[in-house]
Amino acid sequence: MSVYKISIYFIWGKNVYLMADENIENQNSGETPSKSDDYDGWGFDLFPERRGTFKPTIKNILFQGRGNENVERMKCENKVAYCLNKSPLVKIMLGALKRNGCEVNPFRHIACEFCDTSVHGGYDPIMNQVVICQNTAVSKGTIQGVLTHELIHMFDNCTRKLDFRNIEHLACTEIRAANLTHCGLVSSMLEGHSSLFNFKKKHQDCVKHKATVSVLAVRDVTFEQAKEAVENVFDRCYADLEPIGRRIKGRRVDFDLAYAEAFLMGYD
């Protein structure tokens, strides 16, 4: 997505889709193969453990504090466990996934890994895993934010059978994640996307910006193509508040109300 920004409760950042299998059939989009279909990046260069290429060098150990990956992983996993038990939004997402037949097993579906320092997390639709970057997502607030955002992508993949090669499917799930969890009043005001006046339009602008940047992070397309994909699906995807049920504007009461209302949709 974008560089991490400070909001009241979350510190958000660049959450990148990881695409491993270049031979997945594009079943839903009807698109003909394009330059982006031959693109071999898909964010994997930002997640070296996914490639199996991470090997700390002597320089990394001496000057960059590497060599302590196992300790980092243990600390990350403890903070993930805390968020799974304490965060209202994370608990909503876990209940919604379970209700839809995609129950999350933390040992299988959530992984703490070493990542590039420019990212804090991602979702791997091939392995159906949320990745928490143990070396950059070091606070409980950051991990809570990454979990909620990426679990929305997992929920969309579970309930909507997304085709991640379809740029409009990708744009839609990024719109939903930004809409439901990111563009709170304070954080978006700090980024210049919102104001106390005409908040609705400014909030929409914030969501469009975040979604466009996210598409650009994982697809080899131009800014104009990413923006067009977002605009094409925006109205429908912006109106879809499932499963949180409300836009989180950065107030604690929004978290508590969303969690209190979850039972109405069978999410407990």
Write out the DSSP string of 185-251.
HHHHHHTTS--SSSHHHHHHHHHHHHHHHHHHHHS---HHHHHHHHHHHHHHHHH--TTT-S---S-
What local confidence, expressed as pLDDT, does residue 153 receive?
Answer: 95
The DSSP-derived string for 51-120 is HT-----HHHHHHS--S-HHHHHHHHHHHHHHHHHH-HHHHHHHHHHHHTT----HHHHEEEE---TT-S
The single residue of 49, 72, 77, 150 carrying the catalytic annotation is 150
Residue 150 is among the residues annotated as catalytic for this protein? yes
In the predicted structure, residue 192 carries a pLDDT above the cut 70? no
What is the average pLDDT value for the chain, to the nearest integer? 75
What local confidence, expressed as pLDDT, does residue 263 receive?
Answer: 66
Query: Using omega within 30 degrees of 0 as the cis cutoff, is the peptide bond preceding 106 cis?
Result: no
What local confidence, expressed as pLDDT, does residue 56 receive?
Answer: 62
User: Of 247, 241, 217, 215, which is closest to residue 230 (Cα–Cα)?
Assistant: 215
Q: Which two tokens stand for residue 18?
A: 């990881």
Q: Which two tokens stand for residue 43?
A: 């964010």
Chain segment 103-118, per-residue pLDDT in tens: 999 999 999 998 888 8
Could you tell me if 67 and 59 are in contact, meaning their C-beta atoms sit under 8 angstroms apart?
A: no
User: How far is it, in rounded angstroms, from Cα 93 to Cα 100?
Assistant: 11
Chain segment 119-152, per-residue pLDDT in tens: 888 898 889 999 999 989 999 988 998 999 999 9
User: How far is it, in rounded angstroms, from Cα 56 to Cα 66?
Assistant: 6
Could you tell me if 177 and 14 are in contact, meaning their C-beta atoms sit under 8 angstroms apart?
A: no
Given the structure tokens 């719109």, which residue do they identify? Answer: 175
Q: Which residues pair with 17 in a beta bridge?
A: 123
User: How far is it, in rounded angstroms, from Cα 11 to Cα 139?
Assistant: 9
Q: What is the pTM of this model?
A: 0.76
Could you tell me if 83 and 147 are in contact, meaning their C-beta atoms sit under 8 angstroms apart?
A: yes
